[in-house]
Amino acid sequence: MKIKDLLCGLNIKTNYDDIDIQGITCDSRRVKPGWVFVCIIGTNTDGHQYAQNAYKNGARIILCQHTVNLPNEIIVPDTRKIYPAACANFFGNPSKKLHLIGITGTNGKTTSTYIIRHILEGNGYKTGLIGTIQNIAGNEITEAHNTTPDAYDLQELFYKMVKSGCTHCVMEVSSHALDQGRMAGCHYDVAVFTNLTQDHLDYHGTMENYLSAKRKLFEVCDTAVINKDDPYSKQLISGLSCKIVTYSIKSNDADYTAQDLRYKSDGVRFIMTGKNNEISRVKLHIPGQFSAYNAIGSAAAAIEAGIPFEKTCEALSTATGVKGRVEVVPTGRDFTVIIDYAHTPDGLINVLSALKSTITGRLIVLFGCGGDRDRTKRPLMANAVMESADFAIITSDNPRTENPSKIIDDILEGTKGYNTPYIVIENRKEAIYWAIEHAQPNDVILLAGKGHETYQILDTGTIHFDEREVVAEALKVYNG
């Protein structure tokens, strides 16, 4: 590809030689001979500092906001805006050949993407998926490293989807990616808002900034599907120019509703209504009130994307859960172990309320908080656990560069004033072993926070850590 084709439509004023290029990246470590390196000023680092390294690695063009004193540098006003558009150009703007459905919100994004994909695929549409757990492009499934990938990786995924015959793509859209403009140039047929609760304030600073980042998705979509029950919904939709439809499980005054909800240990039963007075009974095989929200929002998105109401409801009844989301781990014992990704106060409240209403024994909750992340939510997570659990095990999550004991100190602030018994076991593996050893008949042990993750991030690096394997090992040790 010629550099002029890469920069087509980007209004570059600087003169440059129209040479051949082989790729583009903003990570100097990924540069290969003949590639373009883009110097992006990030939250923690400035890409201009790595221009020399990129040049040594073979970068043929340097896109920068000020001179880095290298051959073939092209100075542009804003490299962050240029980068995603240039990546799209490099792959031939593949997103324009796909029907994009984006989901944003604090909780429920992953499950919603899987449900929507299930509905679309069940109705004959080959559908790609981009999200927290994995990315699916045709028959190629890869592990995800970010909820929403880097702009180059994102456009490459779109390209692979188109090449494999996909007509649709369902994707999680994170607030970080929206704030950083990773999806610049993408237009969405449908965008879904699940909810907004405290998370990522270490990055956004305030809930207002967090909401503002989420809102950007709905400024580039044709139809917004909004959870009317969320207190931020009115503020979110105010002034939007796209078509707006709402969903609710608490009110009949929405375009799509779930009524007569009945919560069971193995799922939720409800009557779904559509905006054209359609009615259908749904038997969802995923438990919890939050699952009802995910189902009704996903169904609304699929219907707005063109799937008939009745076909959508039929597909809901065959949808299954997602790894790490209220995932039951086989034990062969008279107690139950459940793994869930809940890592926010609201996420914990949702899963705990769902479990509490269906169990006959004790609810034991093992949880921690991530390091180098929002400290203010740590006592709030403890509040959530103390209010619903019969016993709590406070442990480590992904401490990263923080001292795990300091994180636990923050968590313990949220236990004050509660009578719920708890124990502190800093080592997460030892904590899981303790839970298995002390489990009683009919107990439910919730391992919260890690979910689909098969690793733990420590200050010494990332180690393999799969809670399913740890549970299996503990069951062998304490074989009853």
Cβ(292)–Cβ(259) under 8 Å?
no
* CA dist., res. 434 & res. 428, Å (int): 10
The pLDDT value given to residue 200: 65
The pLDDT value given to residue 230: 93
Question: Fold for domain 3-90?
Answer: 3.40.1390
pLDDT in tens, 42-71: 878 999 999 999 999 999 999 999 999 999
**pTM metric for this prediction:** 0.81
* CA dist., res. 339 & res. 1, Å (int): 47
The pLDDT value given to residue 149: 86
Sequence-separated (6 or more) residues with CB below 8 Å from residue 45: none
The pLDDT value given to residue 16: 87
Is it true that 94-316 and 327-477 share their CATH fold? Answer: no
**What does the H/E/C string look like for 330-398?**
CCCCCCEEEEECCCCHHHHHHHHHHHHCCCCCCEEEEECCCCCCCCCHHHHHHHHHHHHCCEEEECCCC
The pLDDT value given to residue 151: 92
* CA dist., res. 387 & res. 389, Å (int): 6
The pLDDT value given to residue 353: 84
C-alpha distances in angstroms, 264 versus 257, 311, 461?
19, 24, 41
Domains of the chain, by residue range, sit at 3-90, 94-316, 327-477
Decide: helix, strand or coil at residue 256: strand
Decide: helix, strand or coil at residue 23: strand
The pLDDT value given to residue 479: 84
Cβ(183)–Cβ(141) under 8 Å?
no
Q: Which tokens in the block code for residue 379?
A: 């006592």
Number of neighbours of residue 167 by Cβ within 10 angstroms: 15
What are the average pLDDT values for consecutive 10-residue runs of the chain, which has 480 residues? 93 88 96 97 90 96 96 93 95 97 92 96 97 92 84 95 98 88 89 85 80 93 97 94 97 95 84 95 87 95 98 94 84 90 90 80 96 94 97 97 97 97 98 97 94 94 97 91
Give kind and range of the element (H or E) at residue 428.
Answer: helix 428-437
Q: What are phi and psi of 155, to 5 degrees?
A: -65, -35
* CA dist., res. 275 & res. 164, Å (int): 35
Question: For the domain 94-316, what is the CATH code?
Answer: 3.40.1190.10
Instruction: Give just the sign of the alpha carbon dihedral 118, 119, 123, 124.
Output: negative
Q: Where are the beta strands (DSSP E) in 379-454?
A: 391-394, 422-424, 444-448
Q: Which tokens in the block code for residue 337?
A: 């172990």
Question: Fold for domain 327-477?
Answer: Protein-Tyrosine Phosphatase; Chain A (3.90.190)
Q: Which tokens in the block code for residue 204?
A: 């956004």
